[in-house]
């Protein structure tokens, strides 16, 4: 009499298991992003059908608001968290693909002015945030983290600087909470101010890229204004991001000389480690587009893919923003962040308006 022998199914490989773990969260990001598009289109269709001039609120904001509502009520179940955490990847992918809309000639034309504005913004922000943090009596390394986060690229810069200057986890949490809170506010404040002042798409986009700290929020703030504004916001923000290695290296050397951080043995390797590689992808795609490697339909397809990538990113921004957690971090870092953010926003707005008036953007 034969016996039935049960053969266990082979375990999936770690890569396959990882992909499977991402699927629920990716589906949630897609659903929220498409939900934002549906709400935007439904409001527009209703206004057209009833001959009403309703405000045109972009899907970007709806996707973020839906994500915020979920994250701060029901919360994001563990099943979805791995996929939701990929939103920063989609942000970087969207920026790389957006390079197809910038020819090298355009980058040279607008890049010089933008680079000058970026340099002034970074130096001014570092100095002001350092003085403000000291005035509020914050711990020195917390001041450094807030200064780096406000001047370069928000949370990413804080994470890079934390390890380099050997800051405490608590300091990094305070700094990131302050930066994230400011990013949430900027999504509402920047477009309203831009429309109120009648800024052009180019001028507003540069302002959003210069004045908003986190890359995701800067991209979203630009896209909320217009597609063209989003394009220039990404350009300015990408230039800020490219300086992260140099700024973090400077802080690492400073704290090492104080005997409060490890010495940097190889500065070149350190710079390469901290440099945001997606910037190179952006430049590579721009170069290929300038050489006409892509056909017209291919350029349109790549630009459309960048919009889909941003759609997933914006949904993830909302889902990853825990307002209750921010509120528990204490008031002083938020005060420094809020005051500093307001001053930097006014400074960069003045820079952009001045550049627009004197040389024309």
**Does the residue 166 lie in any domain?**
yes
- Is the confidence at residue 109, as pLDDT, over 90? no
Q: Please state at what angle helix 14-49 crosses helix 296-319, rounded to 10 degrees.
A: 100
**Does the residue 246 lie in any domain?**
yes
Give pLDDT tens digits for 161-171.
988 898 888 88
**Does the residue 317 lie in any domain?**
yes
Count Cα neighbours of 47 within 13 Å in the Cβ-side half-sphere: 12
| Dihedral (Cα; 129, 173, 18, 219), 10-degree rounding | -30
**Does the residue 163 lie in any domain?**
yes
**Does the residue 123 lie in any domain?**
yes
Per-residue model confidence (pLDDT) at position 10:
57
Give pLDDT tens digits for 5-38.
555 555 567 778 888 999 999 999 999 999 998 9
**Does the residue 172 lie in any domain?**
yes
For the segment 257-284, the average pLDDT, to the nearest whole number, is 85
φ, ψ for residue 219, nearest 5 deg: -65, -45
336: containing domain: 92-358
**Does the residue 65 lie in any domain?**
no
**Does the residue 4 lie in any domain?**
no
- Is the confidence at residue 118, as pLDDT, over 60? yes
- Is the confidence at residue 2, as pLDDT, over 50? no
Residues of the chain above pLDDT 70, percent:
93
- Is the confidence at residue 1, as pLDDT, over 50? no
- Count of domains for the chain: 1
Give pLDDT tens digits for 274-300.
888 888 999 899 999 999 999 989 999
């Amino acid at each position: 009499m034969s016996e039935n022998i049960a053969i266990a199914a082979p375990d999936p490989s770690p890569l396959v298991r990882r992909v499977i773990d991402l699927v629920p969260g990716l589906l949630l990001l897609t659903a929220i992003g498409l939900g934002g598009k549906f709400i935007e289109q439904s409001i527009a269709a209703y206004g057209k059908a009833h001959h009403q001039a309703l405000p045109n609120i972009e899907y970007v904001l709806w996707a973020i608001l839906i994500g915020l509502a979920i994250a701060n009520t029901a919360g994001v179940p563990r099943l979805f968290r791995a996929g939701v955490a990929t939103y920063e990847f989609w942000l970087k992918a969207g920026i790389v693909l957006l390079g197809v809309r910038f020819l090298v000639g355009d980058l040279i034309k607008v890049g010089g002015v933008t680079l000058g504005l970026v340099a002034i913004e970074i130096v001014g922000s570092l100095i002001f945030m350092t003085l403000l943090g000291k005035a509020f009596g914050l711990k020195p390394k917390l001041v450094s983290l807030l200064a780096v986060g406000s001047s370069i690229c928000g949370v990413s810069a804080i994470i890079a600087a934390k390890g380099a200057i050997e800051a405490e986890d608590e300091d990094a949490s305070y700094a990131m909470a302050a930066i994230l809170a400011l990013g949430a506010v900027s999504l509402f404040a920047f477009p309203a101010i831009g429309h109120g002042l009648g800024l052009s798409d180019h001028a507003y986009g540069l302002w959003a890229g210069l004045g908003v700290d986190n890359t995701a929020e800067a991209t979203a703030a630009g896209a909320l204004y217009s597609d063209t504004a989003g394009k220039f916001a990404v350009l300015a923000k990408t230039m800020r991001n490219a300086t992260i290695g140099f700024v973090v290296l400077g802080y690492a050397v400073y704290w090492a000389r104080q005997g409060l951080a490890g010495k940097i043995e190889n500065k070149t390797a350190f710079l390469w480690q901290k440099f945001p590689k997606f910037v190179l992808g952006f430049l590579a795609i721009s170069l290929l587009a300038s050489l006409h490697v892509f056909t017209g339909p291919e350029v349109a397809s790549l630009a459309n893919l960048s919009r889909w990538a941003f759609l997933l990113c914006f949904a993830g921004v909302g889902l990853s923003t825990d307002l209750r957690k921010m509120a528990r971090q204490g008031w002083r870092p938020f005060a420094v962040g809020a005051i500093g953010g307001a001053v930097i926003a006014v400074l960069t707005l003045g820079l952009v308006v001045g550049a627009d008036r004197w040389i024309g953007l």
